[in-house]
A = this chain, B = another copy of it.
Amino acid sequence: MTTNERTIRKKLGGAGQRVTSQRLLLLKLIQKQQGHLDADDLYRRARDLNPRLSLSTVYRTLRLFKDLGIIEELHFQPEHHHYEQRASREHHHLVCLRCGRIAEFESAHTKGLRQEIARRHGFTVTGSEINFTGYCADCRDKAT
């Protein structure tokens, strides 16, 4: 049993949730990806390993993982969601409008932002999503 598997077993068990082969498989794929997946990506990859797995299970599991704080839901595109493993360090995303690549960034500025919000608005921040759209270095040069 890997360390990851032990962690997930504890998380699920602690929440009164069962450890099933489907959940372990999906988690493994999410961790392996180390990027951003949507439900359909995950479904297709999971089917390669377990052809009987259903799309509903993917959706149900994503919701569960989200509720347990194992993954985060992202909204780069209006049409559907993306997911990524919850990161230890807060980071946000840069979405290239030309090639579609997603880069991550961390910044000390976001801490200042949160403090400002608390001070000026009396708002207690529990989560944030910061997406910048634009053109990555590669695409900017190519852009006509």
- The answer to the question of A127 belonging to the interface, with a C-beta cut-off of 8 Å to chain B, is yes
Contacting residue for A123 out of B113, B117, B120, B137, CB 8 A: B137
Q: How far is the CA of A75 from the CA of B117 in the complex (A)?
A: 19
| List of B residues within 8 angstroms of A120 by Cβ | 105
Contact of A137 with B122 at beta-carbon distance under 8 Å, contacts A107-B113, A116-B109 already known = yes
Q: Which of A123, A128, A133, A140 has the most CB of B within 10 A?
A: A123
In the complex, how many residues of chain A place their beta carbon closer than 8 angstroms to a beta carbon of chain B? 36
| List of B residues within 8 angstroms of A132 by Cβ | 114, 117, 123, 125, 127-128
Copies in the complex: 2
Q: How far is the CA of A94 from the CA of B130 in the complex (A)?
A: 12
- The answer to the question of A110 belonging to the interface, with a C-beta cut-off of 8 Å to chain B, is yes
Q: How far is the CA of A129 from the CA of B78 in the complex (A)?
A: 12
| List of B residues within 8 angstroms of A122 by Cβ | 136-137, 140
Q: How far is the CA of A113 from the CA of B107 in the complex (A)?
A: 7
- The answer to the question of A32 belonging to the interface, with a C-beta cut-off of 8 Å to chain B, is no
What are 23 A-B pairs with beta-carbon distances under 8 A? A75-B78, A94-B117, A94-B121, A96-B123, A103-B121, A105-B120, A105-B121, A107-B116, A107-B117, A110-B113, A112-B112, A113-B113, A122-B137, A123-B135, A123-B136, A123-B137, A125-B133, A126-B134, A128-B131, A129-B129, A129-B133, A130-B130, A130-B131
